[in-house]
Structure 1
């Protein structure tokens, strides 16, 4: 009897978050975020006639592809109550290895690069679960180690060009639409199915909602947490390779501008920074909104620093408006 109660409690919590009131709230949040992005695109025409056009929409979608892939992994880590600060260095790792290992354009080394990135995720996950190091400290230390290793490996100057397969992914079009847009659509569908419609996804929600109850229910909390960090590292490494295909080269700072946006996209999309609640569709909306905002800021001539300030302000606002107390106050009936 005592074993069945925690079992049902853990998985009922995750089910409620996905199908009950929590999920409807996340869905509403996703709709609002997408709506804001669309309004921002339409309103940008008042800034410049070149903005708000179909070509700009395609540009935003292509630029958002990096953040969408990256935020999926970060979202899974946040879903289990963690945080991955090693993302910038893993992006650089994926980019540097893509140019260094495939100088002749061989595509078959790309899975090996992703495997190396997966080992980084294992390292992060084991440090958090086995050594009990706080995620913030563990992933920050990993980021420093990887940044130093990349500096030593390249002697300060990454060499090599983009493999042909990455260039084709990022620079070719089909029916007037960049191929990477089709890829991102497939990625979003696969990511949504993985997070919302699989046993692994239910375990992620259960661990984030209550890891003790999930452990009593038979969920291997450590294994699920490590897998979340592995997915995050693989996504970051692949984003590094995408950036190589987009820019036809790698730099040692290529991932620096993606840490804050990866967290912001997840939080804006309706995920709880404490874990246990989140929607990948909402995260996609957050990534789309941030990318649209970035293009508008660039169009009006504001410096990059202002984009960071605005993104930080959006995170603070999102955290405020998604508090349980805030929603409870809205739902509370007025007393006469």
Structure 2
């Protein structure tokens, strides 16, 4: 059976489950994660009366927008069995260059925004080259890239990033339409596009096939190296764009602006039901994981716990997700009448 066949079997199998009355693992997990998010939002009112309101929900969605975008790229890399630890540095790269090159003093140079994203994409291509051609483990390759970028950003800024937010990014992150932040509308469109790319395109199916069995995918004619490299490119572009979003939100850049997104980007993907070994996952579930983690963060902040405790909780959630989101558990949920 070919790798393309394997990818097709994965989707056809899910369809067979739906036709026979079963539900796919990804669907079950997405429902559970979104249900937990709703329960947490409603239950947060017991922590503080200000939580759980409509305005607080909009705040959570705005804060979750950064994690949703960056987790999409991380999810593609995880889907092929990789891991991108350069995300914090690429976020910083995108933010620093946006503030410095296209800031308020040079607002007319909007054309530099695609150039910055292209530069971030080259960083992803560098990661993909190291992983697929040089056979460097993803953990080592992306961590080395992160160190290189962080050092380059420090040298470029001399420790103090300069510039401000371009007007377009300020409009995206600070304005509202019909009482809803503009970035929420953007995230809805992004989620629809990301879901379609991951689940309804040949590229997405090839990523599933590479993650499930790279040798079979190669025999079937799938360019494993090209597909894997494109996953790292997409991750870097998403991270760079999150850097731009953060500049628009905070009206400036810092050298540590991406540090708080590495672990959450992995946690959102794992909580969303993706296998850390690759070959499975759903962007809809990842979105639910990002919203859940963001809601949890707001509750922790309301309680007054320090940031360190949030990291501890996120790590615990990853371990719990890896334990509970096992295939045999979902097999029983899909076929409750069987042992």
TM-score (norm 2): 0.94
CA distance in 1 between partners of 2:50 and 2:327 (Å): 41
2:250 corresponds in structure 1 to 247
2:81 corresponds in structure 1 to 81
User: Structure 1 residues 23, 77: closer, same or farther in 2, change over 3 A?
Assistant: farther
User: Structure 1 residues 172, 249: closer, same or farther in 2, change over 3 A?
Assistant: same
CA distance in 2 between partners of 1:16 and 1:133 (Å): 34
2:139 corresponds in structure 1 to 136
1:12 corresponds in structure 2 to 8
CA distance in 2 between partners of 1:314 and 1:13 (Å): 31
Does the Cα contact within 8 Å between 2:4 and 2:217 map onto a contact in 1?
Answer: no
Gaps spanning 5+ residues in structure 2: where? none
Q: CA deviation at 1:6?
A: 2.4
CA distance in 2 between partners of 1:246 and 1:18 (Å): 40
Q: Give CA deviations for 1:97-136 in whole Å, capped at 9, x if unaligned.
A: 0011113223221000000000000000010000000000
Q: What SS does the aligned partner of 1:275 have?
A: coil
2:181 to 175, 178, 181: 178
CA distance in 1 between partners of 2:86 and 2:58 (Å): 30
Does the Cα contact within 8 Å between 2:3 and 2:209 map onto a contact in 1?
Answer: no
CA distance in 1 between partners of 2:90 and 2:236 (Å): 6
Q: CA deviation at 1:324?
A: 2.9
User: Structure 1 residues 73, 118: closer, same or farther in 2, change over 3 A?
Assistant: same
CA distance in 2 between partners of 1:97 and 1:23 (Å): 45
Kindly report which structure 2 residues correspond to 1:1-336, keeping only aligned pairs within 5 A, or say none: 5-6=1-2, 9-16=5-12, 19=15, 21=17, 24-103=24-103, 104-105=106-107, 106-327=109-330
Q: What SS does the aligned partner of 2:242 have?
A: helix
Does the Cα contact within 8 Å between 2:65 and 2:183 map onto a contact in 1?
Answer: yes
Q: CA deviation at 1:11?
A: 3.1
Q: CA deviation at 1:20?
A: 5.1
Q: What SS does the aligned partner of 2:229 have?
A: helix
CA distance in 2 between partners of 1:143 and 1:8 (Å): 33
Q: What SS does the aligned partner of 2:279 have?
A: coil
CA distance in 2 between partners of 1:80 and 1:276 (Å): 6
Farther-moved stretch of structure 1 (106-115 vs 11-20)? 11-20
TM-score (norm 1): 0.95
CA distance in 2 between partners of 1:48 and 1:132 (Å): 51
Q: What SS does the aligned partner of 1:27 have?
A: helix
CA distance in 1 between partners of 2:165 and 2:140 (Å): 33
Does the Cα contact within 8 Å between 1:88 and 1:259 map onto a contact in 2?
Answer: yes
Q: CA deviation at 1:90?
A: 0.2
Does the Cα contact within 8 Å between 2:173 and 2:249 map onto a contact in 1?
Answer: yes
CA distance in 1 between partners of 2:40 and 2:269 (Å): 19
CA distance in 2 between partners of 1:40 and 1:309 (Å): 18
Does the Cα contact within 8 Å between 2:270 and 2:322 map onto a contact in 1?
Answer: yes
CA distance in 2 between partners of 1:229 and 1:149 (Å): 20
Q: What SS does the aligned partner of 1:222 have?
A: helix
Gaps spanning 5+ residues in structure 1: where? none
